[in-house]
Structure 1
Amino acid sequence: MTDRKLGKGALALISALAVAVPVGMAATPAAAYVFSNVRIEGNQRIEPQTILSYLDLPRGQDVSAGTLNDALQRLQSSGLFESVELVPSGGTLVVRVAEYPTINTIAFEGNKRLKDANLSEIVKSQSRRVYSPAQAEADAAAISQVYASQGRLAARVDPRIIRRSGNRVDLVFEIREGDVTEIERIGFVGNRAFSDRRLRNVLQTKQAGMLRTFIRRDTFAPDRVPVDEKLLTDFYRSRGYADFRVQAVAPELARERDAFYITFQIYEGPRYTFGNITTISEVPGVDAAEFQQQNRVRRGEVYNPTIIETTIRRMEALALRKGLNFVSIEPRVTRNERNQTLDLTFALTRGPRVFVERIDIEGNTTTLDEVIRRQFSTVEGDPFNPREIRNSAERLRALGYFSDVQAESRPGSSPEQVVVDVNVEEQPTGSLNFGVSYGVNSGVGFNASLSEKNFLGRGQQVDLSFATGSGTKSSGLTFVEPYFLGRNLKARAQLWYNTTDRLNSDYNTRTVGLLTGIEFPISENGRLELRYKLSKDTLFDVEPPHVDPESGEVVGSSPILFSEQGGFFTSALGYTYSYDSRIAGLDPLTSYRLRFSQDFAGVGGDVKSVTSTLYAGIESRAWRPSVTMLAEFEAGAVHMLDDQNSRFMSRFTGNSKIRGFEPNGFGPRDLEAPNQDALGGNYFWALRTELQFPLGLPEEYGITGGLFADAGSVWGLDNRIGANETEVDDSMKIRASVGASIFWTTPIGPLRFNFAKALKKEDYDEEQSFDLTISTKF
């Protein structure tokens, strides 16, 4: 449309010049026109001076037709006018313009997936501003791009205008969203060691399948291609294929634009194992033998770059502990193509003497600089260690405060100095959650929580929660300061109020309390917490044995529980030592956790006791990366002081200790009590083992399996008041169970199905062969 108007204007101008130029000038090389006045017609909002500035034509001088045509094009391309004409009229140049209309309103039609408010943020056209066809087309393209990012490549957006009075228009974007353009097939060329199906499970991008209604990773996104290439590379190289590379990725769009076909062309190469492993030192005075002890690479083991990286980190950590600055570990690999082995040498080398001049932080509008800086063990003036800078960036990402963290170095003010630039992109850290939970025993429950993990940008955590279940109510408030007094001290304060009103027992409980504690590191992987706890625990509504007047049966609970009802205060000082190998992250395949706690009650209050608990756990993927092996052991003991007897609220129960038994389903019992309520015990131990593994289903279905075997016991009572001691079973009798689990990650939350069989139990134990748990937030 613009080109046609330009042609008409130029043609009219040339025709007018042919009439206006005197005959005597016909012999000149080109027609020229001289004007002394300019008359502007049609402008309403645009000032005449603005139009004259675009014309830029001299008065009283010869002006050729080409010069006038250039002025016409300048006016037209200014974007201010819908049409422009230049008409010579004697000594006056008449400029006739039609201004673009003003946008009255902007509307969207046909959109369902995206709301009007979201689309309004995308378009640059604005109401009460001049309408621009070019901007409207750009807005339509931007909307189409948003739909394309959601997999709707067939979406079409057409800008339309509706003429209104007063030179106004309504701008309407007509949207046809179209269907999701799914990935119909993902194929591979060059793979021999692994099938297409196995490799598809590795990718973040998924092929459309049965659950295409719920899974949105089966749409093509170009930004996922580099991620998929890295996932494939990591997958192959962790299995010994050191030469693996992705040669090309070819996405093809179907002619109907309703499906994608993606082909990965790969080169596997040979599978390598480690050959000779040595450690040498090229730094005078540094013995390589001590560093060799940190080696985790074994001869004959399948090549895995993660193991090499772990060894380098261990060696560099040792160098830092020994105060060896500017020492780096250089892995040198020698390929033996004949026997497909890799000889590996860890060389201790002296790096350049470079120091950190300063650390510049950008992008944090809410988070304080000190919150970011405390994740860096390197400060200004320290030796520059690129690996430590990368580790610091990983720690920042792990905080969950930022959607992206980039830490890069650049030359400083001298060759011996570098500047570290830290660029962060903040993300919301607060959440308001409403949830539903379900358990076979607990039934349907509802919960609500308000959480902020970067309170006021100080890195503090605040949690407020409420939950209800079948016969239970709980609420709590937690505040955590991870760097108390500006040091690596984690201070926390907790308040809680919990009640139970269970239908399957003849008693109820209520607990209210507060806890304050401070935690600090005592080794690279170990931490110690010191705390104080004050609580009031109440056991009430205990029914003593009696005859039900309606049924005539004897009902009620044990005299032991009846004698223990009432409320009592517990004031205790305690500590917890914890060890977690994941803190240093030196072995990514296997992690260990250890926790030992003791609480000493008697600093005021009604209870004098020592409560000790122990937990030890191991989780490993060393056998196979896709298979997780877990083992947990825990135990506890309550020792009463000053001849006091333990009470039900301070004893241990078997809840969540052994699968295959109901809550309070095993442990000490008063066998003469009508309902044989669980009494709890002064001691317990439990051993749980589990194996989690894929079931061969496509990874996008989110279904995996597991096998488990548990054993343990709860025993020991002090109080036998009112009970026949010969009928109270509080001995240490082992319970054991085995079972299978199905894990299913669904759009409504993670599901776990447990099928258990008790192998060793007592006659009065209460079994639970099936358990289903679901938890979701919205």
Structure 2
Amino acid sequence: MTVENVSVGTRIVFQSIRSNPPCCTPACVVLLLATLLPATQVGAQQASASFDPVVIDSVDVEGNIRQADLTIIAMGGLNRGSAYTILDIQRGFKAMWATGQFQDIRVRVEGDVGSGTVTLVWEVDEQDLLQNVVVTGLTSVDSNDITDTTRVNAGFPYSPAAVGNVMALIRSALSEKGIPFANIVERIERVPDRGKEIILYLDIEEGTQVTVADVTFSGNSVFTDAELRGAMSVQPEGFWWWRSGLYDRDKYDEDLVSGLPSFYANGGYLDFAVVGDSLIIDPATGKTRLEIAVDEGGQYRLREFTVAGNNEFSTEQLQRIFRPEQSGLFGGLDSDEVEFPVFDNGRFQEATQEAGLLYQNEGYLYSNVVPFVRQNEAVDGEGLTVDIGWAIEEGPQAYINRVNIVGNEYTYSRVIRDKIFILPGDVYSQERIIQSFQSISSLGYFEPMEPPDINPNQVGDVDVTFTVTERPTGAINFGTSVGGYGGGLSGFIGYDQPNLFGQGKSGSVRWDFGQYQNNQVLSYSDPAVFESLVSARINLFNSRDQFQTFRSGRRRRTGFDVRLGFLIPGARFTRFFAGYGLSKTTLTQQSGTDFSLFGMPAATQSTVSVGITRTTLNHPLFPTIGSRQSANVDLTGGPLGGDGKFVKYTVDGSWWLPIGVAGGSDTPGTGTTFAIGMTMRMGALQGNSRSFPFDGFWMGGVQFGQQLRGYSETTVTPLGYFDEDARTINDIARVGHAFYSMTTEVAMRLGAQASASLFMDAGNVWENAADIDPSQLYRGAGIGVQLVTPFGPIGLDIAYGFDKPDPGWQLHFRLGPGM
């Protein structure tokens, strides 16, 4: 900044350095203020009057070509007739510079402050305006995908930094496609008779696509070339389509700087280094050979692991995170063995994160677990060793001060709070906050959520705020088909609303029609009857159906069932259920000579049911963590009236554990989550259920009875395996009075809308509960996909049945929430 005194008054120049922010030092401010004051005041009054406001009589603009004076004056925010200090002028200067519309700005104040004729003058040199941006020679990447996300577009001011950023993005995008040596030249062409308007050209020569044909190593003896290639993200081309072998320079650099050193460090080689690398390209084919020279260094073993600063958890508790007894990793430390265990640096870093999470979940929000690795001096005749440990700063324990819910314009807050696992006064727990976030998301009432805001207050406690955005929840579902099973027209139409009145109540009505089905179902459920802790569900149904497996007859059922749920005190995740159902079942024989199933007279079923369920699953369809256990008893007939007299017992449990996450952001629930799960089911029926054969246990397939993939519907019977069309077994003989089944699977959860899994099913049915033998199970394994669609959840599985007389594959289609 320069200051110049002239005879007509005082002239102050506050200028920027071209392409850099303006001078804002205190010395500049004091000097400018001094010139605004009369000479007699610049002494003792300078300090006290330096920030007194001065009234601006007028504001002028000089040097502008493409922008109006008023537009530029508005950018500065300083208007005539108002009083301002130098700080206001400085802020206006910064605001104008931040617009990117100028490549140089000067501000001067003219006139005599005492005379009241002070003029503020903005001297500007405008940045060129992009009339158009032309990208030539770019064929492998869509230029719009890059320029549309930057300020390098028609109508924006020219910015050298932004252009450089676009060029870097283009190079990076080309590099991901195996084109690492693109040449980009920037050209500017001025538009005739259009001052300060230009056309920007980016001329690109992509060059040859580079494919990695081989990766070789030198200097390695501990690990083979194949093992080292497996530790890299840049892979040689292979037979399968996903092994394209494209050379990505950014990923290659990451392999050299991080990937290979981490791989060696996990084996104790802390001194590993890449000492050189070469890229050898065949210009004719674009094939590349990467040659990497390494120095492996020596292997370090773990001599001592210490923990300091811990009070909340014992040293033994914390050490078990890194050395669980069952792993044997530290087996030699407390014995007479001479050799120390190999130090795994990767596992140590993972354990450090686990220790930090342990503290976070116990309220130590401000804790810090600092790892250290100290390489000991080498001793002749002895191996290399390290001492490691954690220096822990626990800090104070934080508590939940408030739990806020923001954005729920339709859904009642109490509905959301029922899904939150933290309360004011609770110890802060990161794990329970994440579980709450996932539980709210699983309601399906809101758009994808951002992570909750965690705001500490003055005393160190925290306010947790969950922000939601409502989305429409009701849906009309319909579908039709011509042909299908039995021919003719069939379909369904219905309406489902999972959030009635914004109170989490659900209601649905559905009509399935066709030559072989005519079903009407009306259902309503309320998770909090009269805002209490009691839940309720009622179903009204009138159905007529004919089973694909049993084509000789059909069934008609009309009735209702109601169920109440009660929260057990002190057990938030556990509910006790009680219900009653009344229905009339009519079985009609239509063809064939086997009257064992459909030859029974019409019967009335009166059933009381009781049960208990505990669930901590984080999603009703696609869980990745938590468990669910339930036990139910259904009593039919006897003192309840109606026909039949029997008791039906069923128990089931499922357990899920996440094993990894790929992609996504920091938001919980995003990306692809991998989880492993196990489900077990068992049931038994005692008494006379002859009038209600479909209340027994059928096994095989996925649409009817107990699930067993790899087998057709109802082919697994108490008498063994029988094909669907087998005539050597009566229909009624396929039903069992006891069953056991289990499923293990590894699932890939693609958000809350899709999932794929590898699974193994096993199960069997028996005539009596005393005959249950878990060692005699039919087995099936395969792969499945599940989707959530506007018509409800659907799934497709293909499974191999191992224990059929002719083992083979079976395709299954699943429809509905019970899939």
Question: What is the TM-score of this pair, normalised by structure 2?
Answer: 0.49
Say yes or no: does 1:743 pair with 2:783: yes
Does the residue aligned with 1:678 lie in a helix, a strand or coil? Answer: helix
User: Post-superposition shift, 1:508?
Assistant: 1.9
CA offsets 1:28-83 (integer angstroms, 9 cap, x no match): xxxxxxxxxxxxxxx9x9999989999xxxxxxxxxxxxxxxxxxx9xx989xxxx
1:564 matched residue in structure 2: 600
**Which of 715, 718, 729 is the equivalent residue of 2:767?**
715
**Which of 713, 716, 724 is the equivalent residue of 1:663?**
713
1:715 partner amino acid: E
User: Post-superposition shift, 1:539?
Assistant: 4.5
- Whether the aligned pair in 2 keeps the contact of 1:204 and 1:217 (CA below 8 Å) is no
Does the residue aligned with 1:564 lie in a helix, a strand or coil? Answer: coil
- Whether the aligned pair in 2 keeps the contact of 1:101 and 1:131 (CA below 8 Å) is yes
Q: Within 5 Å, give how 1:262-273 maps onto structure 2.
A: none
Counterpart CA distance in 2 for 1:483 and 1:576 is 18
Counterpart CA distance in 1 for 2:264 and 2:530 is 47
1:39 matched residue in structure 2: none
- Whether the aligned pair in 2 keeps the contact of 1:241 and 1:270 (CA below 8 Å) is yes
Aligned length: 629
Counterpart CA distance in 2 for 1:573 and 1:254 is 78
Distance of aligned partners of 1:462 and 1:499 in 2 relative to their CA distance in 1, 3 Å threshold:
same
- Whether the aligned pair in 2 keeps the contact of 1:274 and 1:300 (CA below 8 Å) is no
- Whether the aligned pair in 2 keeps the contact of 1:277 and 1:298 (CA below 8 Å) is no
* Greater relative contact order, per chain length (Cα 8 Å cut-off, separation 6+): 1
1:654 partner amino acid: M
Counterpart CA distance in 1 for 2:151 and 2:645 is 71
Distance of aligned partners of 1:561 and 1:383 in 2 relative to their CA distance in 1, 3 Å threshold:
closer
Q: Within 5 Å, give how 1:152-167 maps onto structure 2.
A: none
1:723 matched residue in structure 2: none
- Whether the aligned pair in 2 keeps the contact of 1:629 and 1:690 (CA below 8 Å) is yes
Question: What is the TM-score of this pair, normalised by structure 1?
Answer: 0.51
2:325 matched residue in structure 1: 298
Does the residue aligned with 2:732 lie in a helix, a strand or coil? Answer: coil
Say yes or no: does 1:652 pair with 2:680: no
**Which of 457, 473, 491 is the equivalent residue of 1:412?**
457
User: Post-superposition shift, 1:610?
Assistant: 2.5
Counterpart CA distance in 2 for 1:383 and 1:355 is 4
- Whether the aligned pair in 1 keeps the contact of 2:739 and 2:772 (CA below 8 Å) is no
Counterpart CA distance in 2 for 1:606 and 1:693 is 44
2:585 matched residue in structure 1: 538
- Whether the aligned pair in 1 keeps the contact of 2:763 and 2:779 (CA below 8 Å) is no
Distance of aligned partners of 1:52 and 1:771 in 2 relative to their CA distance in 1, 3 Å threshold:
closer
User: Post-superposition shift, 1:598?
Assistant: 0.8
1:22 matched residue in structure 2: none
Say yes or no: does 1:634 pair with 2:682: yes
1:502 matched residue in structure 2: 548
CA RMSD between the two structures:
8.1
Say yes or no: does 1:770 pair with 2:808: yes
**Which of 787, 790, 800 is the equivalent residue of 1:754?**
800
1:576 matched residue in structure 2: 611
Distance of aligned partners of 1:380 and 1:455 in 2 relative to their CA distance in 1, 3 Å threshold:
same
- Whether the aligned pair in 2 keeps the contact of 1:191 and 1:267 (CA below 8 Å) is yes
Counterpart CA distance in 1 for 2:175 and 2:538 is 44
User: Post-superposition shift, 1:684?
Assistant: 1.0
Q: Within 5 Å, give how 1:353-432 maps onto structure 2.
A: 354-361=398-405, 369-385=413-429, 388-389=432-433, 392-393=436-437, 395-396=439-440, 401=446, 403-413=448-458, 416-422=459-465, 424=467, 426=469
1:639 partner amino acid: G
- Whether the aligned pair in 2 keeps the contact of 1:502 and 1:508 (CA below 8 Å) is no
1:518 matched residue in structure 2: 565
User: Post-superposition shift, 1:291?
Assistant: 12
User: Post-superposition shift, 1:556?
Assistant: 1.2
Q: Within 5 Å, give how 1:327-338 maps onto structure 2.
A: none
1:686 partner amino acid: Y
**Unaligned residue ranges in structure 2 (runs of 5+):** 1-64, 76-96, 103-128, 133-137, 192-198, 331-346, 377-381, 660-672, 701-705, 749-754, 788-793
- Whether the aligned pair in 1 keeps the contact of 2:438 and 2:618 (CA below 8 Å) is no
2:684 partner amino acid: G
Counterpart CA distance in 2 for 1:268 and 1:466 is 72
Counterpart CA distance in 2 for 1:652 and 1:200 is 53
2:648 partner amino acid: T
1:635 partner amino acid: G
Counterpart CA distance in 2 for 1:405 and 1:387 is 16
Q: Give the fraction of aligned pairs with identical amino acids, expressed as a percent.
A: 14
Counterpart CA distance in 2 for 1:436 and 1:194 is 60
Counterpart CA distance in 1 for 2:515 and 2:166 is 53
1:678 matched residue in structure 2: 732
Distance of aligned partners of 1:50 and 1:194 in 2 relative to their CA distance in 1, 3 Å threshold:
same
Counterpart CA distance in 1 for 2:563 and 2:500 is 19
Counterpart CA distance in 1 for 2:734 and 2:327 is 52
CA offsets 1:62-120 (integer angstroms, 9 cap, x no match): xxxxxxxxxxxx9xx989xxxxxxxxxxxxxxxxxxxx9999xxxxxx99999x9x999
**Unaligned residue ranges in structure 1 (runs of 5+):** 1-42, 55-73, 80-99, 104-109, 164-170, 545-554, 695-701, 718-729, 759-766
- Whether the aligned pair in 2 keeps the contact of 1:543 and 1:557 (CA below 8 Å) is no
CA offsets 1:713-765 (integer angstroms, 9 cap, x no match): 33269xxxxxxxxxxxx99899945556342769997643313224xxxxxxx
Distance of aligned partners of 1:527 and 1:772 in 2 relative to their CA distance in 1, 3 Å threshold:
same
